[in-house]
Amino acid sequence: MKKISTVTFDLWDTLIKEAPGNSEKVAQLRIERIASVLESGGHPHTREDVTEAYQKLGAFLEMTWGKARDMPVREQVLFMLNCIECRLAGALATDEFSAIENAYANSILDFPPGLLPNAKEAVQAIKDRGYRLGLISNTGKTPGSTLRIVMKDLGILGCFDVTTFSNEILVRKPAKGMFKVTLEQLKVLPKSAVHIGDDPEKDVEAAKSVGMHAIQALSPETLRSPDADGHVSRLEGLIHAVERL
């Protein structure tokens, strides 16, 4: 019987990565679309007004994230709208608010991230060996619901038994809750699971703090963690690193 029965993965910079400049393109697309919805609904505000509110939201999110907490996407949109104009959200028709929420959540689909080298092959190899798979991912402004679409389009969503996103459970790595919720859903003890991620604190230290094993996915930009149970470059040889445990 394998000592390890379950493998969990980080998403950003472990399996997927944005192309240079795409983050800015997505931000501008959100702003343009939100301003357009407001204008067409009879609530005109300048692009500068929307941009300023978007930046204020970003600063608030950074403060929230710094406490290992997160916000549902709807609350993020409400915060931004209130920064544009007090009570603006309440003045919107239901379909107008939905259009703004959709623009905020889904604009990344116009400039989607891509798979990192060997990511799909590594995930599939783990799945084919009979391990249960989980995903444990912090989110930015793009929510888990949209990231599942991204993962489906990239051909990896179906490999995962459980996907945990911070905006849906309201805590973020390195909070232990991200890992505990996922392990509970997978019905596995921490000692029987290994987490794969790039970040020394949010992936390696956090996973080990709940009793999991941890393998660090390295790239040229990654700070190598001395606490990891193994290291792999661009996920090459991941299946062998897992089975050595």
pLDDT tens digits along 44-84: 899 999 999 999 999 999 999 999 999 999 999 999 999 99
pLDDT in tens, 131-175: 999 999 999 999 999 999 999 999 999 999 999 999 999 999 999
100 SS3 class:
helix
Residue % of the chain over a pLDDT of 70: 99
What is the sign, positive or negative, of the torsion defined by CA atoms of 231, 236, 237, 239? positive
Q: Which residue has tokens 């997505």?
A: 26
Q: Which residue has the tokens 């703090």?
A: 209
Specify the DSSP element, H or E, that contains 6.
strand 6-9
Domain positions in the chain are: 6-17+114-244, 22-110
CA–CA gap between residue 94 and residue 139 (Å, rounded)? 25
Decide if pLDDT at 39 tops 90: yes
| Alpha carbon distance 101, 37 (integer Å) | 10
Query: DSSP assignment, residue 200?
Result: I
DSSP state of 69: B
The residue type at 106: N
CA distance 46 to 205: 45
Residue pair 224/216 in contact (Cβ under 8 Å)? The answer is yes
What is the pLDDT confidence band of residue 10, given thresholds at 50, 70 and 90?
Answer: very high
**Would you say 30 and 218 are in contact if contact means Cβ atoms under 8 Å apart?**
no
CB-side exposure of 87: number of CA atoms within 13 Å? Answer: 1
pTM, entire model: 0.95
**pLDDT(2) > 80:** no
At residue 232, does pLDDT exceed 50?
yes
| CATH number for the domain formed by residue range(s) 6-17+114-244 | 3.40.50.1000
3-state SS of the chain: helix, strand, coil percent to 5? Answer: 55, 15, 35
Which of 4-8, 87-91, 137-141, 212-216 shows the lowest mean pLDDT across its residues?
Answer: 87-91
Give the integer Cα–Cα distance in Å for 30 and 77: 11
pLDDT tops 50 at residue 1: no
Do 133 and 123 touch, CB atoms closer than 8 A?
Answer: yes
Residue 240: band (very low, low, confident or very high) from pLDDT cuts 50, 70, 90 = very high
- Rounded to an integer, the average pLDDT of 97-121 is 97
